[in-house]
Structure 1
Amino acid sequence: MLYPQLEKRLRVQILSPVRAAVDPLAPIPVLARAARTGLQMSFARGADLVVFLIDREASQTLASVRAFEVEGKLRDDIDDRIRVVVKDRSFENWLIASPEGFRAQRARYAHPERVEKMAVPNKADRVDDPCRLINSAMVRGQYDKTGDAPKILKAANVDSIAANSRSFRRFLAVLGDPLFASGSRNPAKE
């Protein structure tokens, strides 16, 4: 759902993602073996650069350290056109970084201010359990990744996600966003 915004912003074409069924906390050699086929398929489909996204989950290892270690292995073993971004902590941290996605669905999320309070400004990556936060904003039911995430992303805003998630800014930097060419530590200046 974010591809059109990203492609327009960065003037790049983004291919459909290829999923590697592997535990993001697996040892690096296991990650590399599990990712090999998908990464090679991406290059076979014409990718100039492949961004390998993994979740940090509950790991105590810094996202930047994990990304550096995994990227080194993937580049050495597979192709030097691979970059690694570690989502801090999970995909849902990127979802909560854009409160617009929740405000646009008042019938499902009666309390989007709960998400905004925890994620803004620049705090989305610090939320340890974003799924619980999403559930707290809901009228009823539970968050469902395959059903809810696309609807949230449909109204999400790349600028908001970048303003509230350092790991998303890193993703943008790796994709070549000039706003983060000199670093992704801080949100872009208005």
Structure 2
Amino acid sequence: MIGVVVEGIGEIETVRAYISKIDQSLKIFGRPLYADLQPKANPKVIVAAARNVINQLRRRGATKVVVIIDLEDRPCPVRFASELKEAFCSAHPDLLITPVVKHHCLENWMIGDPDALRKMQKRFNKFESIENAIKRGGADMVKDPLKLLDSCAIKTSFHKTMDPPRIAAHQDIDKLSISSRSFKKFLCEIGHSPCLSKKDKN
């Protein structure tokens, strides 16, 4: 079984929505667990903060744990992921733990499939601005996706807890994986083969 750990309470239902779109034959716990991870902290501090939920997943039979965390303002996602993996392996040598570093934050994933936002026309508009932003290098390269989502939100500002699960429910995870390398990494780590059409998978 694969367990998933997230750093934000608002990410629980969002990632749960993504998992619900995965092939149900894959053995994944449907509900991610929350841990109070601080992306700017030392990797050993992050590992310590995740200890309780990782042990909980171990008791439930997890053989692999995927930990999703923001890059924030760190310079290199690959280096950060490598440092985290080393720290997790040292603390839990008997369990496979893989960090997935969101580049830069959950909101980058939220803009990766503009068609999902088009399905929410009572909540968002100005879809072309999002399409233009991700054309230049993909969703991961947008430096301030929250500001971009705010500019497209109708009536009230983008809500970091309420809006992401609603957007995720409409997103095509294969399209999103093309726009976001960090999301593609997440899909690969939980066993989904991204970027393949249903015809290709059969």
**Smaller-chain TM-score range?**
0.7 to 0.9
TM-score w.r.t. structure 2 length? 0.82
Distance in structure 2 (CA, Å) of the matches to 1:122 and 1:15: 31
RMSD over equivalenced CA pairs, Å: 2.0
Tell me which residue corresponds to 1:101.
Answer: 116
State which of 13, 17, 28 in structure 2 corresponds to 1:13.
Answer: 28
State which of 5, 15, 18 in structure 2 corresponds to 1:2.
Answer: 18
Distance in structure 1 (CA, Å) of the matches to 2:106 and 2:30: 18
Contact map agreement 1:89 1:128 (CA 8 A) in 2? yes
Q: After superposition, give the CA deviation of every residue in 1:88-136 in whole Å (9 maximum; x if it has no partner).
A: 0001111111112210111111212221221247510001111111011
Distance in structure 2 (CA, Å) of the matches to 1:177 and 1:121: 26
Tell me which residue corresponds to 1:75.
Answer: 89
Unaligned 5+ runs, structure 1: 180-186
> Which structure carries more strand by proportion?
2
Contact map agreement 1:122 1:165 (CA 8 A) in 2? no
Q: Secondary structure at the match of 1:146?
A: coil
Distance in structure 2 (CA, Å) of the matches to 1:158 and 1:132: 23
Contact map agreement 1:55 1:89 (CA 8 A) in 2? yes
Q: Secondary structure at the match of 1:35?
A: helix
Distance in structure 1 (CA, Å) of the matches to 2:138 and 2:193: 22
Equivalent residue runs for 1:87-126 within 5 Å: 87-120=102-135, 123-126=138-141
Tell me which residue corresponds to 2:13.
Answer: none
Equivalent residue runs for 1:121-160 within 5 Å: 123-160=138-175
The percentage of counterpart residues that share the same residue type is 29
Tell me which residue corresponds to 2:77.
Answer: 63
1:43 aligns with 2:58: yes
How far has the Cα of 1:48 moved from its partner? 2.1
Contact map agreement 1:24 1:31 (CA 8 A) in 2? yes
Contact map agreement 2:26 2:191 (CA 8 A) in 1? no
Distance in structure 1 (CA, Å) of the matches to 2:136 and 2:119: 19
1:30 aligns with 2:30: no
Unaligned 5+ runs, structure 2: 1-16
How far has the Cα of 1:83 moved from its partner? 0.8
Distance in structure 1 (CA, Å) of the matches to 2:45 and 2:136: 36
Tell me which residue corresponds to 1:182.
Answer: none
State which of 179, 185, 188 in structure 2 corresponds to 1:170.
Answer: 185
Tell me which residue corresponds to 2:11.
Answer: none
